[in-house]
Structure 1
Amino acid sequence: MREVNLTDFAAAHADGATVVDVREPFEYVEGHVAGARLVPLAQLPTAVRDLPRSRPVYVICASGNRSLTAAQFLARAGIDARSVSGGIGGWVRSGRPVVAGPDA
């Protein structure tokens, strides 16, 4: 497991990276990275079997705390998980776009 900065995450996202948002649904609908799959942190153990093992999985939350915990869990499960430092808050502050609503 490793932590990535927003610039590296933006490049991976532009290349079609798998993104998992571990916030709660009410946070996700307010604004999320386009294409991010919502998997609240508490539900991660049941979703881990559906995540790819052949490429990195980028994990994002509000600020980077929950995503770090989630990425550590996923790494122990054999997934190349990368926590997005700064989270969605940093993403928005850097002027990058978000999508509102329940759909990825």
Structure 2
Amino acid sequence: MKEISVTELAAQKQPVIVDVREPDEFQALRVPGVAHIPMGEVVERIAEIPDDGPVYVICASGGRSARVAEYLASRDIDAINVAGGTFGWRDAGLPVESGA
């Protein structure tokens, strides 16, 4: 499985990022500009995930996103797990959003 650090991801130009956490987690804290597809909905919403370039998958710390990235890769989607997740992003001092 491919992985990227939060600082490497932050340096990417207009990355496609999918956050797979639960809605309450997403509302509380998120990386700006991410798409939200909870892990439990990925299979039924896979058509919403672009398959024409890398898709960076993020969760809280990297566990759920790793499982989703593996699933997407098995469906021939170039999925890359974000090591450290949203908490790693925040802890690196990168911008975050919260609320609706």
**With structure 2 as the length reference, what TM-score do the two structures score?**
0.95
Give the C-alpha shift of residue 70 in structure 1. Answer: 0.5
Q: Is the 8 Å Cα contact of residues 7 and 89 (structure 2) preserved in structure 1? A: no
Task: Please give the secondary structure, in 2, of the residue aligned with 1:88.
Answer: helix
The answer on 1:92 being equivalent to 2:79 is: no
Is there any run of 5+ residues in structure 2 with no aligned partner, and where? none
Is there any run of 5+ residues in structure 1 with no aligned partner, and where? none
Q: Distance in 2 between matches of 1:90 and 1:70?
A: 18
How many matched pairs?
100
Which residue is equivalent to 1:16? 14
Which residue is equivalent to 1:72? 70
User: Which digits, 9 at most, give the CA deviation of each residue in 1:18-42, with x for residues without a partner?
Assistant: 1100000000001101111111100
Which residue is equivalent to 2:4? 4
The answer on 1:47 being equivalent to 2:76 is: no
Q: Distance in 2 between matches of 1:50 and 1:96?
A: 26
Structure 1 runs of 4+ aligned residues shifted over 4 Å read none
Give the C-alpha shift of residue 51 in structure 1. Answer: 1.4
User: Which digits, 9 at most, give the CA deviation of each residue in 1:23-64, with x for residues without a partner?
Assistant: 000000011011111111000001211211111000000000
Overall identity of the aligned pairs, in %: 42
Task: Please give the secondary structure, in 2, of the residue aligned with 1:45.
Answer: coil
**With structure 1 as the length reference, what TM-score do the two structures score?**
0.92
Give the C-alpha shift of residue 101 in structure 1. Answer: 2.2
Which residue is equivalent to 2:23? 25
